[in-house]
Each structure stands twice: as C-alpha cells, then as structure tokens.
Amino acid sequence: MDSRIFDIVLASASPRRRELLQQIGVRSRVLPVDIDESQLAGESPTDYVSRLAMRKASAAAALAECDNRLPVLGADTIVELRGELLGKPADSGQAIEMLTRLSGTTHQVHTAVAVVCHGATHQRLQSSRVTFAMLTAAQIRAYVDTGEPLDKAGAYGIQGGAAAFISHLEGSFSSVMGLPLFETAELLAQCGVDPVNKTHNSEIA
C-alpha cells in the first residue's frame, strides 16, 4: 500500500480516535490488534494504561501488513474510581452499575499514547478529573437504553449524551474522549508528522 495516502498507522478500531486524528489533519490507516488486556498484579492504573498503549503500538508494528515507513500509534483509555478500574461494560446491567457508582463523584480518566517510529517508542500519558452530577435512576436507564455506553470505558462517552452529566472537567476533553490531541501532536512531530506545521511523513521521506 502506498504510504503517501496515510500519515500514520493507527493500532485501534476506535472510530473516535480516527475522527480525533482527522480533526488535526492526520490521515491514519486503521490496523487494530488483539492483545491480552489483563491487569498485572500490583500494577497501578497509570502503569497499566501505559503498558497497553505500548503493547498495541508494538504489536501493530510487528504485523506483516504494517507499513513501517509510517509511525505506528497505539492508545488506551481507562476510568479510575477510587483506585478501581472501570473498563467497558459487558452488558446494560453492568453499564447501569458503573454509572450509578459514578453519579455525584469525581473520577479520573487516564489515556496513554505510544508511537513507534525509527526503531524507537515514544510515549505520553494524560490524566483528567471528571465530576458527575447526581443522576437519577431514570436518567441512567434512559442513557443506557441509547446503547452508547456499551463500548466505552466507564460506560459513558463525553462527546455524546453523557456530556449532560458532567459538571466539571479538569484536564483534556479529547483525552477523555480517547486521544489527547496536544500530546499526540507532540509525539507525531518527533516522528516527522507535524499537524501544526502541516508537514507529513510522505513529504519528508
């Protein structure tokens, strides 16, 4: 495949991450990978999310169909509530349980980004604090019934209907959405893809 069509390889099937990259003018070839996402014993939430981002980028870079002339980006997002990780809910019941726990509380959202290029791996971590208003059971049920929470860490999407639940945000909106754009742009600039100056890998190869 002609690398000039794309700026990077994105080791994720998330449409949100691809849309965020498009927002800053980065063209990505989607190449998702399947890795073991089990948390290691004693592993902190930030170490966990950082390790997964690195493993995703490295796993995609090792695939035969990966164009290694391009930077390979992996990312992972987790929700942490009082030291406990909240991943994607398995079903509607679990989504309701998660949202009930988040109601009226402040939690953290950690997103790690890793980029493999020129034989090296570069990484950044962004942590945000998100405060939910008190939610009624009816509000939670109505939101879960939309189906939106089922593929999102913590059972909510800040860019969707859950925006009405968030009373305060300290950090990065795009990071909570799944990809911190400031940190991502900095990493990609180190690899020859600079959205700010509109230079791309194909132009400097």
Q: Sign of the CA dihedral 171, 176, 177, 179?
A: positive
Give, as one character, the DSSP assignment of residue 198. Answer: T
Q: Any catalytic annotation for residue 76?
A: yes
Question: 7, 67, 76, 194: which is the annotated catalytic residue?
Answer: 76
Pairing relationship of beta strands 8-10 and 72-81 according to DSSP bridges: parallel
Strands (DSSP E) along the chain, which ranges? 8-10, 28-30, 72-81, 84-86, 106-117, 120-132, 166-170
Q: Determine how many CB atoms are found less than 10 A away from the CB of residue 68.
A: 15
Residue 66 to residue 60: CA distance in whole angstroms: 7
Cβ atoms of 68 and 22 closer than 8 Å: no
Active-site residues: which are they? Answer: 76
